[in-house]
Amino acid sequence: MRTSVGSRGALCVGIDPHPALLAQWGLSDDVAGLERFTLTVVEALADRVAVIKPQAAFFERFGSAGVAVLERALVGIRDGGALSIVDAKRGDIGSTMAAYADAFAGPGSPLAGDAVTVSPFLGFGSLRPLLDLAAASGTGVFVLALTSNPEGGQVQHARQPDGKTVAQTVIDAVAAENAGASPTGSVGVVVGATVTGVGREHDLSAINGPILAPGIGAQGATPDDLRAVFGAARDQVLPNSSREVLGAGPGVAGLREAAARSVDAVEKALRA
């Protein structure tokens, strides 16, 4: 991921084809509209941004035909030279988690991208089948820690008997997974760019892995917020922008211009 970010800039663009965006683009809320939207974004950006993150739910809502579009998107992203994060947020136990691991990190699986998002809130240990398969297959994993939705704090900021927040326990577990990896590990965390007080309340210094930071643009965070939220850890941050870029469609040129502006803005903020 460092190589891709180094050559293309630190930006992850989401593919979130929700009904309002399809309508804004003049597309129908069906598989045909989904396909046109998705493949236009891939055409516009796969050869110029570092990372593209399809949100699996917007494909799954159309059943097998929608999942087939997601599979085509992952091929197109790979062919364009970008990395892909499948935003699936899966989390379960035992054989069910092993099945999710096969789907999203298994060698040869059509749903396997370069990384996948997962939820640790059934206990970090419940992720072990996916973490082990991902390590063997070279797939990255982003673990939810401090999410950008306001409801997240109800669980993530709760304190355990040792005084640590649930989020810090997740962060520490990720750090343990990455311990000794060089230059960095392949397990990252998701920390929203809208989350205030991260540095005061949570220690990100030992993660030794990437930090996926959603919330830039429509959710209210700006590139300049990255310095305040992440402080010294900002070198590890991969900011995510979805609607801020996607809203510039449906033309390929508009999407490319919006993505270029976002790359410039986040690079200035992160490297200042």
CA angle at residue 127 from 124 to 129, to 5 degrees?
A: 145
Interior/surface letters 210-243, b for 16+ CB within 10 angstroms, e for the rest: bbbbbbbbebebebebbebbbeebbebbbbbbbb
Closest CA relative to residue 133, chosen from 94, 100, 85, 169 = 100
Q: Which amino acid is at 244?
A: E
Known catalytic residue: 89?
yes
Q: Which of 53, 89, 164, 268 is catalytic?
A: 89
Burial class of residue 109 in the structure, from the number of CB atoms within 10 Å of its CB (0-12 exposed, 13-18 middle, 19+ buried): middle
The residues that are catalytic are: 89
